[in-house]
Amino acid sequence: MPGPEHFGDYDDAPIYTIKTVVQQTGITPATLRAWERRYNVLSPGRSEGGYRLYSERDIAILKWLKQQTDSGVSISSAVALLERHRAAREARTGPVGQAAAAAERAGPRPTGVLAQELLAALLAFQEARAAAILAEAFAIHPIENVAEEIITPVLVEIGERWHRGEATIVQEHFATAFLRHRLAALFQAYEPASAGPLALTGSAAGEWHDVGILLVSLGLRRYGWRVIYLGQNVPVDHLIAEVERLRPRLVCLSATTPESANGLIEAYEAITRVDEPRPRLVFGGHLLNTRPDLCARFPEACIGRTAHEAIAAIGRP
């Protein structure tokens, strides 16, 4: 179904009654009025008799919002996503923005092309352009594909350029902060499951990079896990206290530095001393991909080289 980037292609003449809108969208009149009143998502016209009239664009927007809520996104979060799409579209001005709009009209663009454009925009500190590219990506590609085929390779490439001296630390920090903010917003956009097994996720003690574990947290929440994201630099003693109190089925920790690897070792040893039933422990992060000796110490915990592989290995609850 068409995403927000195509809403501008629809006729905005108010000609449809609320009965027609209900029939076409499956949204009840009470829900429709509540969305209009609370979130101001539409501005319907009026007939001579004072009845609400809606346009083709209104119907397209409502269908998209219903699709989001049916997939587990709260209406407030769906409206926030819609507003970000609108803001990104408005930001596309000048020659670069016109070129991007022309490319969108030509049809969905592959993730590889979007990744290259996002990389260039972030290295040039073009925040509005980067937001527009991500808005386009999320509108036409599944979230998992955007995460694994656009965000992850862009982060890896920027990090490698910094190590080679081809990008500055300022560029690396800007790109990481920008993408982390988007991932955190997506994670919050999905309503947590009300039942089912619990997963605790976060960065190991001493670890301040959390983009990878945010990807895992997002994937697990979409799979239906009750995910509590603990954030960066999770002290082992506090982690164990919550494990004993909450009794999760799963604990996922990430590490990218030798110092934070020590946090993984401490967490592993501490969790083995927790009374049964103990949670399943999963580790990840760039350091483990480059240090096979560490994975040899935790063979049952190192289950994937990427967030996508880890999510697939963990599976649905």
At 167-205, the pLDDT tens digits run: 999 999 999 899 888 888 778 777 677 778 999 999 989
Summarised one tens digit per residue, pLDDT across range 57-76 is: 889 889 888 888 887 777 87
Which of 144, 138, 146 has its CA nearest to residue 64?
A: 138
**Burial of 312 from C-beta contacts in 10 A (0-12 / 13-18 / 19+):** middle
d(CA 145, CA 151): 9
More confident residue, 5 or 272: 272
Mean pLDDT of 284-308: 76
Residues in Cβ contact with 247 at an 8 Å cutoff, skipping those fewer than 6 apart:
198, 277, 279
Domains of the chain: 4-71 (1.10.1660.10), 91-188 (1.10.1240.10), 193-314 (3.40.50.280)
* pLDDT level of residue 228 (50, 70, 90 thresholds): very high
Mean pLDDT of 31-43: 82
Q: Residue 66 has which token pair?
A: 């219903």
Per-residue pLDDT for 106 more than 70?
no
Chain length of the chain: 317
* pLDDT level of residue 93 (50, 70, 90 thresholds): very low
